[in-house]
Chain A
């Protein structure tokens, strides 16, 4: 069945460092891919998405490119801030299946 694998955390960075959180997926066909973020005490929020191969999703300085050849959707940001500290979830969906999440990666940014 479909699945999402993302790098285990926690990821600890200093402010202004470069961030990469790896995400790979297994799916038949052509899923849509998402990154959700969960700030402390809040609900999951959609960060960005891509619905077809080679699409790049971007929001708040974060980017991820849908790579079909490597079945990946890695999350990147050039310069993280303390306010980016949160749990990040990679997810996929395709017609007829529910949204499937990875286990989440905790990011902690210090000043």
Chain B
């Protein structure tokens, strides 16, 4: 596609519910990133995929957070047993570069999925 598409754009969940957030990266992009952006803060790194391999998940805040990219394109971020502190905008980004963290790696971001946990 022309850009990175995320769905749903808005999600309201009751505390304890599971949620799934989807990311459609730019076609052919090998690198995919998930970031979490709390209100008034900058995005914080969650996890990175190169094709279908999850090479870095050091930013996932707890074992309730799980991400997958089984066929190396679409990715899903799943949050189990949501808590109020999970409320944030979840950003997905993709890149044509294969290197995870490099100055040459220009990321294209989606508009984000805003999660509100009540």
B44 contacts across to A, CB distance below 8 A: 101
B59 contacts across to A, CB distance below 8 A: 98
Residue contact B43 to A101, C-beta cutoff 8 Å? yes
B residues 11-36 near A (Cβ < 8 Å) are 33
A residues 28-47 near B (Cβ < 8 Å) are 31-32, 36, 41-46
Instruction: With both chains docked as a complex, state the minimum distance between the C-beta of A39 and any C-beta of chain B, in angstroms.
Output: 10
B103 contacts across to A, CB distance below 8 A: 31-32, 49, 51, 93-94
Most buried by B among A43, A94, A100, A102: A43
Residue contact A44 to B109, C-beta cutoff 8 Å? yes
A89–B35 Cα distance when bound, in Å, is 14
Closest-by-CB residue of B relative to A104 is: B42
Residue contact A44 to B91, C-beta cutoff 8 Å? yes
A61–B111 Cα distance when bound, in Å, is 24
